[in-house]
């Protein structure tokens, strides 16, 4: 639809800022929530005004003021929420229940995309504590959306490349070593790595597509479905050097969580399910889902090798 009006909530965040950029690039009327609570956070304020310079409209609204959220969502056709949900930074997934209430009351929104952008929480009922909180909270939000009868799309973006490729799939690392790497298990479980701007582009493509209505969109760039060992091989080829490799078993990995801060343990469980279990790629997409690269073959996604060149 031409002139689609899109509100991005959490637009100053890691994935949110890319969503704003992608929505503007698509030519949509892009609204970005400006929360008074950000106060004098100069980086966020400057970022918001840089969006305004590029054509976005800033809308004031607070999660502490229901009517302000209702007023904000009344301005648009589509709401995308990219609120934080990584414990090492901040975890606010359940705050979205307030946004769901506002969307329900406003009654005009044609599509809502809650803050997901990772592992499909519907497939993680077996996830271990304490990391399962991310999936459980996202499922609480899904339930509220569906009970309110709000049209939705859920984006399962798999691994943000910056976290996983930057660290050669090791938690706590975001710049690849040129010396050594710890291989998780046999290192052969497949993960799926996606450039963050590609995630934003696929997301924006999906918001006005009848094929994605009330579906989960899985982003599975075919060339980026790789094991940790394959990621390491790509890196070794780029730097022209073989890394020293040690390995850690699943049991050793899980027992190393003991004594770690809670937020670190949450992240470790996410890595456990991705790297030891292969939870992102070990299933076929069923009737409830669609695959983004098949839907939008015109998007030339960034391959793992292209992404990793930045670290050389």
Ligand X SMILES: NC(=O)c1ccc[n+]([C@@H]2O[C@H](COP(=O)([O-])OP(=O)(O)OC[C@H]3O[C@@H](n4cnc5c(N)ncnc54)[C@H](OP(=O)(O)O)[C@@H]3O)[C@@H](O)[C@H]2O)c1
CA max distance for the chain: 59
Q: How far is the CB of 242 from ligand X (least distance, A)?
A: 27
* Measured distance CA(48)–CA(11) in Å, rounded: 8
Is the Cβ of residue 119 or residue 212 nearer to ligand X in the bound state?
119
Beta strands at 5-9 and 29-34: parallel, antiparallel or unpaired: parallel
Alpha helices (H) along 154-290: 161-164, 196-206, 228-239, 250-255, 262-271
DSSP 301: P
Composition of the chain by helix, strand, coil, percent to 5: 45, 20, 40
Binding site for ligand X (CB under 6 A): 10-16, 33, 35, 38, 44, 63, 82-86, 89-90, 92, 95, 115-118, 134, 157, 159-160, 163
Q: How far is the CB of 241 from ligand X (least distance, A)?
A: 27
Q: How far is the CB of 298 from ligand X (least distance, A)?
A: 23
Question: What are the φ and ψ backbone dihedral angles of 100, each rounded to 5 degrees?
Answer: -60, -45
For residues 79 and 7, the answer to whether their CB atoms sit within 8 Å is yes
Is the Cβ of residue 58 or residue 213 nearer to ligand X in the bound state?
58
Is the Cβ of residue 85 or residue 167 nearer to ligand X in the bound state?
85
For residues 231 and 169, the answer to whether their CB atoms sit within 8 Å is yes
Q: How far is the CB of 99 from ligand X (least distance, A)?
A: 9
Is the Cβ of residue 41 or residue 147 nearer to ligand X in the bound state?
41
Is the Cβ of residue 4 or residue 165 nearer to ligand X in the bound state?
165
Q: How far is the CB of 295 from ligand X (least distance, A)?
A: 19
Q: Select the residue whose beta carbon is closest to ligand X and give its number.
A: 13
Residue whose entry in the numeric block shows the structure tokens 């329900």:
104
Positive or negative: CA dihedral 159, 162, 163, 165: positive
Burial of 98 (0-12, 13-18, 19+ CB in 10 A): middle
The residues annotated with a catalytic role in the active site are 138
């Amino acid at each position: 639809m031409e002139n689609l009006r899109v509100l991005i909530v959490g637009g100053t965040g890691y994935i949110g800022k890319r969503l704003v950029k992608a929505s503007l690039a698509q030519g949509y009327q892009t609204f970005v929530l400006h929360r008074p609570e950000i106060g004098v956070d100069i980086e966020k304020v400057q970022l918001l005004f840089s969006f305004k310079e590029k054509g976005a409209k800033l809308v004031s609204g607070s999660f502490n003021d229901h009517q302000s959220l209702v007023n904000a969502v009344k301005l648009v056709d589509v709401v995308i929420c990219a609120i934080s949900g990584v414990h090492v930074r901040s975890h606010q997934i359940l705050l979205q229940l307030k946004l769901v209430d506002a969307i329900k009351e406003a009654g005009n929104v044609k599509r809502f995309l809650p803050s997901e952008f990772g592992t499909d929480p519907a497939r993680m009922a077996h996830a271990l504590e304490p990391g399962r909180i991310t999936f459980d909270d996202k499922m609480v939000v899904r339930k509220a959306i569906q009970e309110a009868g709000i049209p939705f799309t859920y984006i399962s973006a798999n691994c943000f490349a910056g976290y996983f490729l930057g660290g050669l799939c090791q938690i706590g690392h975001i710049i690849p070593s040129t010396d050594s790497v710890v291989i998780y298990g046999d290192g052969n479980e497949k993960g799926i790595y996606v450039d963050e701007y590609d995630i934003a582009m696929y997301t924006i493509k999906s918001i006005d597509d009848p094929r994605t209505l009330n579906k989960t969109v899985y982003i599975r760039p075919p060339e980026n479905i790789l094991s940790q060992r394959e990621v390491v091989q790509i890196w070794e080829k780029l730097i022209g050097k073989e890394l020293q490799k040690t390995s850690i078993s699943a049991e050793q990995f899980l027992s190393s969580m003991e004594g770690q801060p809670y937020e670190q343990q949450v992240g470790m469980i996410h890595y456990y399910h991705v790297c030891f279990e292969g939870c992102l790629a070990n299933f076929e997409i069923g009737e409830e889902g669609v695959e983004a690269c098949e839907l939008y073959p015109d998007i030339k996604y960034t391959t793992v090798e292209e992404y990793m060149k930045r670290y050389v």
